[in-house]
Amino acid sequence: GAGVSQSPSNKVTEKGKDVELRCDPISGHTALYWYRQRLGQGLEFLIYFQGNSAPDKSGLPSDRFSAERTGESVSTLTIQRTQQEDSAVYLCASSTSRSGGSQETQYFGPGTRLLVL
């Protein structure tokens, strides 16, 4: 009965370095989402995975951001050549996908707080 888990909890990196963030969704959840939350703001959609379908990458802010997911399991979000503006909390969520997919709620992980110095 584990929830969504994310690692690391906190990450401090230097500008220009690459970082990799991990998300373990709830078992059986076919949909997985990544969001970015800057301090004091709402959530920005980054990317959505649904089963083996092509992901919706429309929210990725630049080509420095990429994400992968193998099947319906773990996902990693990679930020290359990090910038100070990338500092934020990165949240992962998963959900089931019922028929039509329009009524499911999302279950969130605790997030990874990224600080780029």
Q: Give contact residues for other proteins (rule: CB under 8 A).
A: 4, 31, 33, 35, 37, 39, 41-45, 48, 50, 56, 89, 91, 93, 97, 100-111, 113
Tally DSSP H helices, then E strands, for the chain: 0, 10
For other proteins, which is the closer residue by CB, 41 or 73?
41
Task: Give me the least distance between CB of 109 and other proteins, in Å please.
Answer: 5
For other proteins, which is the closer residue by CB, 27 or 81?
27
Amino acid at 49: F
Task: Give me the least distance between CB of 83 and other proteins, in Å please.
Answer: 21
d(CA 39, CA 22): 21
Q: Coil, helix or strand for 19?
A: strand
Residue 83 near residue 116, CB atoms below 8 Å: yes
Task: Give me the least distance between CB of 55 and other proteins, in Å please.
Answer: 11
